[in-house]
Amino acid sequence: MSSINISPKKGLHGTIRVPGDKSISHRIAMLGALAKGETRVEGFLMAEDCLSTLKILDSLGIRIEKTGAESLVVHGKGMDGLHEPDNCLDAGNSGTTIRLISGILAAQPFFTVLTGDASLRKRPMGRIIKPLCHMGARIWARAGDSLPPIAIKGGRLKPISYQSPHASAQVKSAILLAGLWADGRCDVKEPDLSRDHTERMLRFFGLPCRSENLTASVEGVREFSGCSYKVPGDFSAAAFFIVAALISKGSDIVIKGLGINPTRAGLLEILQRMGGRIEILDERMESGEPVADLRCISSGLRGINITGEDVPRMIDEFPVFFLAATQAEGDTLIRGAYELRVKESDRIATMAAELRNIGADVEEMEDGMLIRGGMRLKGGLCSSHGDHRVAMTMAVAGLISEEGVVVEDWECVNTSFPDFLSILQSF
């Protein structure tokens, strides 16, 4: 078990770039594998979660050539080019990998078994298994077909119109990817809008995908061609530095080339509503995704109420948002965020425990948290609970604490952001 020690520091200054978007990196590798010919990718996130996706694609017969520190070429074999692996497929800690690749495997005429680490084997999979079985796949899993490992016997799929009980980009994407093989149109309607990276990327490849209100649709296709793709900077990775700048006195930083997809960047809007001084510079489109540079300046934040409809657009940023709320004036109430209990850790329970541990005043609720703002954080010994976003949040807390913070079990950060510490220490 490794640990890191973060000392208090005020006045963050500088210009940084964060690694490529994790969600988009997974998707471009998978769609590149299904395309005919080469897909050239710049800005790919070479972190453990995305490497799990690459290893699975390799096991399915796809050659992936790394051409630089953040670039690769996916040598796609087309929609019928995957072959049966000779062993179980390991998704590691990546929920995106296991859920999205299940959608692809549901259409393959062979047998596969997907598993992952101890954390992933506790995460709910019934939410993808049910619709994929309705499409015609045969799927088995532990605990009444709800937990990994997952065994899939794929085959010919039929289109469905599915009303998802969850606003989940992973569920939606699994169905849309499977729908590429269906004879007709698949529709997925959500209760709230989740991130739309899959839909944007399908359209960028020239595939028949539509989005209207809360429904995403895709038509089955026979083949499509590879492309060149530039992955924007990961907003979830940048969130730690955005919050660090806002809550650390005298700070003024710029983050370059950041994805600001509105279905993903809900935290940006929330922090601005709280009084955060965030300037959006040089807005542009790259590979079908909105991109910009952000200038983030030390700010006096105000408490806010977060409701269920806010949750999907900032689902991965809640740990660091909780920290920001401890420094706001007044109370912050978060409700409708039960989904946080089934992430890499129970992020309501783990963040409540760790924030209390360093001096915050928080009250845990079944579907959220009450955070009393304006708290001086003493610091101390913290655990990551094996959750990369909890670990990075507590590191940021160390910057504004009185005594500094020690974060134990730091290796989990490698699943999404291996360079986090070096960037944090560059200020």
User: Which residue, of 230, 261, 276, is where some domain finishes?
Assistant: 230
- Beta strands (DSSP E) in 260-298 are 277-286, 289-297
- Shared domain check, 218 and 96: yes
- Shared domain check, 42 and 157: yes
Q: What is the tens place of the pLDDT at every residue in 231-284?
A: 999 999 999 999 999 999 999 999 999 999 999 999 999 999 999 999 999 999
Q: What band does 1 get if pLDDT is binned at 50, 70 and 90? A: low
pLDDT at 423 over 90: yes
- Shared domain check, 241 and 373: yes
User: Which residue, of 187, 207, 230, is where some domain finishes?
Assistant: 230
Sign of CA dihedral 254, 285, 198, 419: negative
Say which DSSP state 311 is in: G
- Shared domain check, 263 and 152: no
> Structure tokens of 365?
């609720």
Residues contacting 19, CB < 8 A, separation 6+: 43, 45, 46, 47, 70, 233, 234, 237, 417, 419
CA 9 to chain centre: 28
- Average pLDDT of every residue of the chain: 97
Q: What is the tens place of the pLDDT at every residue in 235-244?
A: 999 999 999 9
Element (H, E) at 163: strand 161-163
Q: For 317-343, what is the mean pLDDT? A: 96
- Shared domain check, 331 and 417: yes
- Please indicate whether residue 310 is annotated as part of the active site: no
- Shared domain check, 35 and 9: no
Q: What is the tens place of the pLDDT at every residue in 9-58?
A: 989 999 999 999 999 999 999 999 999 999 999 999 999 999 999 999 99
- Shared domain check, 381 and 329: yes
Do the strands 331-334 and 305-306 form a parallel or antiparallel pair, or are they unpaired? parallel
Total structural domains within the chain: 2
Q: For 131-136, what is the mean pLDDT? A: 98
Q: For 299-305, what is the mean pLDDT? A: 97
Residues contacting 95, CB < 8 A, separation 6+: 120, 123, 170, 343, 344
Q: Decide: 99 and 171 in contact? Cβ < 8 Å.
A: yes
Residues 80-113: b if buried by 16+ CB within 10 A, e if exposed: ebbeebeeebbbbbbbbbbbbbbbbbbbbeeebb
∠ Cα 243 249 255 (to 5°): 40
- What was the pLDDT predicted at 200? 98
- Shared domain check, 118 and 252: no
- CATH number, domain of 305, equals 3.65.10.10
- Shared domain check, 206 and 84: yes
- What was the pLDDT predicted at 135? 98
CA 50 to chain centre: 11
- Shared domain check, 387 and 246: yes
SS3 content of the chain, % helix, strand, coil (to 5): 35, 30, 35
**What residue spans of 186-262 are helical by DSSP H?**
197-204, 235-247
CA-to-CA distance for 166 and 312, rounded, in angstroms?
Answer: 9
Q: Which of 60, 61, 66 is nearest to 25 (CA)?
A: 66
Q: Which of 158, 56, 144 is nearest to 106 (CA)?
A: 158
CA-to-CA distance for 370 and 325, rounded, in angstroms?
Answer: 9
- Shared domain check, 236 and 226: no
Q: Which of 117, 293, 316, 387 is catalytic?
A: 316
- Shared domain check, 81 and 120: yes
User: Which residue, of 170, 199, 230, is where some domain finishes?
Assistant: 230
Lowest-confidence region among 1-15, 43-57, 202-216: 1-15
The boundaries of the domain holding residue 319 are: 3-20+232-424
